[in-house]
Structure 1
Amino acid sequence: MIALLVAVPTLLLIGLLVNYLYYIPQTNKQHIAAGKDALWNNGGYGFEFSSVTTPGFIISMILVVMILVFTAFLIKHSAKRIVIDRETNTAKVASIGFIAAFFDMMGVGSFASGLAMFKAGNVIKDDKMTPGTLNMSFCAPIMMEASFLVGAISVDILTLVVLVVAAVIGSYIGASLVDKFNAQTIKLVMGSALFIAGIVMILTTPQVALIGAAGGANGIVGWKWAVAVPGFLLIGVLMSFGVGSYAPSILLLSLLGMGLIYIAPIMTCTSAFLMPVTSYKFYKDNNYLPKTSLTTMLGAIFGSTIAFLFFYAGLQGSGVMSADGVAYKSIVKWLTIAVMFYSSITMFIQYFQNRKTAGEKAEAMKKRNKRKSLTKVNKQDLTPTINQQYEKTLDRYSNDLDTKSIVEQENIPMDEWVKNPNSEEDLVSDSVDKVLKDIDTSKPNPKRKTKVEKPEEKKKTN
């Protein structure tokens, strides 16, 4: 935690100093040399405030405050819960954060790559904790990326603000729709959409170029607003369903003629202004792993900063790789295509796996032997039959409540389950249903015995 408290402000300071004292002035000189509009009038090394640079600087400083507040909040409120996943491998998890954030700066979403590495490394055992852990882990690093890029790249501020607001509105709309759609249908539709989008993206690459993705514009103009705003509303909705925004943002905006270099701050700012809100919800619900989140975040902030220093300030600032060049476009687009197909194939696999599992459960329900009514059992066989039905009932109730533990904690005798031996109904099952409804599972009684009494013991409990 101390390392995180020191690393976040230190890396922020290094990144911002390099950004405003070196990268942005170098970009201004390159603009002047290429005959483009200058960011400010002189071409010197000193940063100057102008109508182009001031809005980006203001947004960058807002993000800096958000980063510091979020980091302090996360550390403070995770300290007492860090025992939950204290066995987490620090080196492995920090490495995952570093790699995911490094490529996130280049346009490959950290959620997709981070999730893949978490699964491959068996880092998160409970899938319910995965979304919250990802949000907590990459919230600060993505805000850090946005603070660097929004100041460094002269994207049209109106375009940036309008599209970010559209995505935020879309995410709130999506949040209200999530529970109204079948998860299987969503996986199938989104997997298909990403697969088609990947094919379209291939056709726009410099190597194929069958579809003209006019490059270079730093904002949206004219009729393109009618496509861009609804498009980002939809992207915001998709984010609520767990679909990353990077790939569809690159596809949409590149087809609308924006240069890839100008798309980067829009993508990162969209996520940066959404993630603190969603992360707070996961915190309130305790749906995240604290040590895993903090350790991943530590690696990720180094990954984001080093990627910015190497890729933007290093290669582009020195002129080795032009932001408008074929090399840059190729790297970003092909990486994005890889993520699109990976996400699509993953969704298809999950869809068919879930479908297979559902089919197996339905088949098992059909094949399940109906229990024999106790009135049809000979008296001498009554106890073995109750024992047999008891075991079958426990198998039937295999769920998150752990019925066996509940039955043992409540010390429910098996002969008590049969309330009406003259009934033809499935008595054992029905009585367990009633017992489960009467038990407050959130407040187990530790004073109760844990042994399940058998009928022959003839022992009564309160």
Structure 2
Amino acid sequence: MTMATAILALIVIINGIFAFKLVQDLRKNKSELKKEPGSNIFLSISSAVIFFFSTFGVSDFAISTILYRKKKLVSDKKLPGTLNAQCVIPVAVMALAYISVIEVSPVTLIVCIVAQIIGAYIGPRFVVKLDPKVIRRFISVGLLVATAFILAGKFNLVPSGGTATALTGGKLVTAAVALFIFGALNNIGIGSYALTMATIYALGMNPAVAFPIMMGACTFSVPVGSMEFIKFGEYGRKITLFASTFGVIGVLVAVYLVKGLDVSMIQWVVAAILLYSGLSMLINELKSSSKKEENEQLAAAK
């Protein structure tokens, strides 16, 4: 058995256990499931769309949070569990598909996945001491700078990207350290998709390699926490059910499109995602700070 095959087998086993727990809970709580808000048609379409874009690296957490709050489909208390549980099966399909169709060194893939899992596990004891706002602003600027470099390369202003499918030596260590940090940052709500894309690009790898790496890391770390949400019933059952079925359809369509894109087109996709991620993060932080200052001024005036 090759390392790639072993990784695929582990993905199936871990996510199979999650699926078993999910089905058990859904069958046990049929009455509660039927009472949850959201039309079947709406959830079918939205799930497919959300995970279509997620397959390209656009955060399903961000899109889902905005959509579910606006439609009042789930309470804020159950939102974290819903965001995690709904993405487990679609992300597993992404990982299986990308690892199967996109060439990447098994050693590079395993090192990056393990580094991010370790970061997600031991990271909280460190990141809780940091100011999330400062980190988000720093990262948003970094993503915009990364976008500028990619665009400069596309217009032949600087050397552009690379074609490597494996990392060795110092570059592999750099990638491991970066993915460890990204795993830790997940605990304060900073997604790793855009950061992983920027890192892979900066290290001279084929931009497409970012997809199996970032999906592979998530598909090992998310199911474990999601099973705890299921255990305590702290998630939206109806949303998760539809996302686990119709979300997969969106994933398969997107994977087919990514597989058919050449490196040049993927570079444009990566640039667009980094630009979107950097701007949205920066704008949200600036709005949050502005609102906080207004509240403080009002409180002082009283």
Establish whether TM, by shorter chain, passes 0.5.
yes
SS in 1 for 2:190: coil
Percentage identity across paired residues of the two chains: 24
State the alpha-carbon separation in 1 of the partners of residues 123 and 67 from structure 2.
27
**Shift in Å at residue 208 of structure 1?**
4.1
Structure 1 Cα separation of the partners of residues 5 and 109 of structure 2: 13
Amino acid at match of 1:338: Y
For 1:349 and 1:299, how far apart are their aligned partners in 2?
A: 34
- Pairwise CA distance, 1:262: 1.4
Q: C-alpha distance in 1, partners of 2:58/2:119? A: 22
Cα drift, residue 285 of structure 1: 4.0
Matched, 1:131 2:77: no
- In structure 2, the partner of 1:333 is 271
The separation in 1 between residues aligned to 2:38 and 2:29, in whole angstroms, is: 13
Please give the alpha-carbon distance, in whole angstroms, between the structure 2 residues aligned to 1:277 and 1:339: 26
Number of equivalent positions: 299
* Alignment partners' CA distance in 2, 1:275 and 1:307: 21
Task: Write out per-residue CA displacement over residues 213-262 of structure 1, whole angstroms, 9 at most, x where no aligned residue.
Answer: 43111121232134222211111111111111110001111101111111
Match status 1:289 vs 2:239: no
> What do you get for the CA RMSD once the two structures are aligned?
2.5
Could you tell me how far apart the structure 1 residues matched to 2:126 and 2:109 are? 26
Which digits, 9 at most, give the CA deviation of each residue in 1:62-94, with x for residues without a partner?
222333332221121134445265222222223
Please show how residues 19-38 of structure 1 align to structure 2 within 5 Å: none
SS in 2 for 1:127: coil
> Structure 1: where are the runs of 5+ without partners?
1-48, 368-462
- 1:354 and 1:99, CA in 2 relative to 1: closer, same or farther beyond 3 A? farther
* Distance in 2 separating the partners of 1:341 and 1:112: 13
Against the structure 1 CA distance between its residues 342 and 81, is the aligned structure 2 distance closer, same or farther, given a 3 Å change threshold? farther
Partner of 2:48: 98
Choose which of 72, 92, 108 in structure 1 pairs with 2:20.
72
Query: What is the CA deviation profile of residues 165-198 of structure 1, one whole-angstrom value per residue up to 9, with x for unaligned ones?
Result: 11111111223345545xxx30343133223322
- For 2:254, the equivalent position in structure 1 comes to 307
Amino acid at match of 1:155: V
C-alpha distance in 2 between matches for 1:286 and 1:249: 32
Structure 1 counterpart of 2:213: 266
Is 1:197 the counterpart of 2:119? The answer is no
| Structure with the larger helix share | 2
Shift of 1:283: 2.5
Code of the aligned partner of 1:224: K
Whichever residue aligns with residue 230 of structure 1, its letter is V
Distance 1:237 1:56, change over 3 A: same
From 284, 289, 292, the counterpart of 1:346: 284
1:60: which partner in 2? 8
CA–CA distance in 1 between the matches of 2:248 and 2:289? 34
My pick for the range that moved more, 296-305 or 108-117, is 108-117
2-side partners of 1:246 and 1:297: how far apart? Answer: 20
4+ runs deviating over 6 angstroms? none
Question: What is the CA–CA distance in structure 1 between the aligned matches of 2:238 and 2:108, rounded to whole Å?
Answer: 38
| 1:92–1:178 distance in 2 versus 1, CA, 3 Å | farther
Which of 70, 81, 93 aligns to 1:144? It is 93
Q: Which structure has the bigger radius of gyration?
A: 1
- 1:9 alignment partner in structure 2: none
Q: Does the alignment pair 1:162 with 2:100?
A: no
Q: Is the 8 A contact 1:239 1:245 kept in 2?
A: yes
- SS of 1:197's equivalent in the other structure is helix
> Kindly tell me: are residues 173 and 311 of structure 1, through their superposed partners in 2, closer, same or farther at Cα, counting changes over 3 Å?
same
Quick one: structure 1 residues 106 and 288, their matched pair in 2 at CA, closer, same or farther if it must change by over 3 Å? same
Post-superposition CA distance 1:327-360 (Å, at most 9, x none): 2321232133213322332233334434544665
* Map of 1:12 onto structure 2: none
Q: Which has the higher contact order (CA 8 A, sep 6+)?
A: 2
Structure 1 residues 288 and 354, CA, compared in 2 at 3 Å: closer, same or farther?
Answer: farther
Unpaired segments ≥5 residues, structure 2: none
> Would you say 1:248 and 2:186 are equivalent positions?
no
> By how many angstroms is 1:290 displaced?
1.3
* TM-score under structure 1 length normalisation: 0.59
CA contact (8 A) 1:93 1:123 kept: no
Question: Bigger shift: 165-174 or 288-297?
Answer: 288-297
2:46 aligned partner, one-letter code = I
Contact 2:146 2:274 in 1 (8 A): no
The aligned counterpart of 2:69 is 119
SS of the counterpart of 2:247?
helix
